[in-house]
Structure 1
Amino acid sequence: MNKIKIIKKNDEYSSEYQIGDTFEIEGTWYGGVHIIGKTGAPVSLDKDEYIYLDANPENKAASTSVISHPESSASTQTSTVIPEAQPASTLSANTEKNNAEPLHEIHVGDIVRHFKREWVSEESTKYLYNVLAFAEHTETGEKLVVYQAMYAPFKICARPYDMFMSEVDHQKYPGIRQQWRFEVNE
Structure 2
Amino acid sequence: MRKIKKNQVYRHFKGKFYFVEDIAYDSETMKQVVVYRQLYDDKQLFVRSLEMFLSPVDHDKYPHAQQKYRFEEYDFDNKKQA
RMSD between aligned residues: 1.0
Name the residue aligned to 2:18.
129
Which string of whole-angstrom CA distances, capped at 9 and with x for unpartnered residues, describes residues 98-144 of structure 1? xxxxxxx4300010000000xxxxxxxxx100000011112221210
What amino acid sits opposite 1:178 in the alignment? Q
**Selected match of 1:115 from 10, 13, 18:** 13
**Residue type at the aligned position of 1:107:** K
- Aligned amino acid, residue 132 of structure 1: E
Alignment of 1:51-90 (within 5 A): 78=1
State, as a whole percentage, how many aligned pairs show the same letter.
37
The TM-score, its normalising length taken from structure 1, stands at 0.39
Partner of residue 151, structure 1: 40
Any conservation in 2 of the 1:115–1:168 contact (CA below 8 Å)?
Answer: yes
Structure with higher Rg: it is 1
State the aligned residue count: 75
Distance in 1 separating the partners of 2:4 and 2:51 = 13
Structure 2 unaligned spans of 5+: 76-82
Paired amino acid for 2:56: E
Amino acid at match of 1:143: Q
Moved over 6 A (4+): none
Which residue of the partner structure matches residue 92 of structure 1? Answer: none
C-alpha distance in 1 between matches for 2:65 and 2:36: 22
* Residue pair 1:145, 1:160 contacting (<8 A) in 2 also: yes
> Does structure 1 residue 166 correspond to structure 2 residue 52?
no
Letter of the 2:42 partner, please give it: P
Q: Partner residue of 2:31? A: 142
Q: Is the 8 A contact 1:106 1:183 kept in 2?
A: no
Structure 2 length-normalised TM: 0.85
Looking at both structures, which has the greater relative contact order when contacts are Cα pairs under 8 Å and sequence separation is at least 6? 2
